[in-house]
Amino acid sequence: MLTEESSLSPKTAEDVEIQAERRLPVRIVLTGFMGAGKTTVGSLLAKRLGYRFIDADVEIERETGATIAHLFEEHGEPWFRELEHETIQRLLEPEAVILALGGGAIEDDRTRRLLLERNAAKLVHLEASIETVLRRCRGTESVRPVLRDTANLEARYHKRLPLYRLAHLNVPVDSHTPAGVVEIIVERLSGQNPSR
Ligand SMILES: Nc1ncnc2c1ncn2[C@@H]1O[C@H](COP(=O)(O)OP(=O)(O)O)[C@@H](O)[C@H]1O
Ligand SMILES: O=C(O)C1=C[C@@H](OP(=O)(O)O)[C@@H](O)[C@H](O)C1
Ligand SMILES: [Mg+2]
């Protein structure tokens, strides 16, 4: 006769995978510098898990009817951070969501607190080197206004790095494909390899 434990135990490799994935958090939030792959990986991760994908920048553009570049030019960065904070707060309400942040959201104290303290949300840092982000973002200055401030870009990267590293999970991404990054996140968050 089967004991209760054995009857509930996974039987095949597929069962093991499904059971492990059931332990995944109901909200996963991606942070990291511009070009780290938050939007790309977030969309793939959502498909992989059957979660809804939301990109905070896309939501802001949809709700304001303006581009991020326009909002920066018209209102300035502090105004943008305020709007970004309110937007993220709202986007953290639903469950089964992958939320990709803009790279600068982590700089706002209230946003950072919200991301780190919210129950059932895991903050994942996609960590790319400065060389990688510069290479990946080349030519996108018109849609990424912060990139245009070349004199301060490297300083911004180094100022933000310790803030990103407060995340629940840090994933170095330089030598992985987007699909590879997705697999690392799933594995780590489902507790199979929970190193930080
Ligand atoms: N792991 C990766 N390997 C190679 N290219 C990538 C990877 N992740 C993202 N990219 C590319 O880098 C660029 C920036 O990616 P994106 O997802 O927009 O980054 P973010 O949202 O973090 O700014 C895109 O052209 C994307 O295709
Ligand atoms: O790093 C930043 O301050 C920003 C990053 C952008 O998002 P991505 O990181 O997705 O490029 C976007 O939110 C805005 O241009 C500001
Ligand atoms: Mg993005």
The alpha carbon of 111 and the centre of ligand 1 are apart by a number of angstroms equal to: 23
The response to whether residue 31 sits with its C-beta less than 6 Å from ligand 1 reads no
The alpha carbon of 9 and the centre of ligand 3 are apart by a number of angstroms equal to: 40
The response to whether residue 156 sits with its C-beta less than 6 Å from ligand 1 reads no
Question: What is the predicted ipTM?
Answer: 0.99
Give the closest residue to 59 by CA, choosing from 22, 24, 25, 85: 85
Neighbours of 183 (CB within 10 A): 14
Give the closest residue to 127 by CA, choosing from 95, 94, 163: 163
The reported pTM is 0.90
Beta strands (DSSP E) in the chain are: 27-31, 52-55, 97-100, 121-127, 169-172
Report pLDDT for 96. 95
pLDDT band at residue 191, thresholds of 50, 70 and 90?
confident
pLDDT tens digits along 14-29 = 555 555 556 899 999 9
Nearest-atom number in ligand 2 for the CA of 100 is 10
* 61's tokens: 């553009």
What residue ranges define each of the domains in the chain, with the CATH number in brackets?
Answer: 24-189 (3.40.50.300)
Ligand at shortest distance from the CA of 30: 1
The response to whether residue 57 sits with its C-beta less than 6 Å from ligand 2 reads yes
Q: What is the mean pLDDT of residues 81-91?
A: 97
CA distance 134 to 157: 11
Phi and psi at residue 51, in whole multiples of 5°? -95, 165
Pairing of strands 27-31, 97-100: parallel
C-beta separation of 15 from 7 below 8 A: no
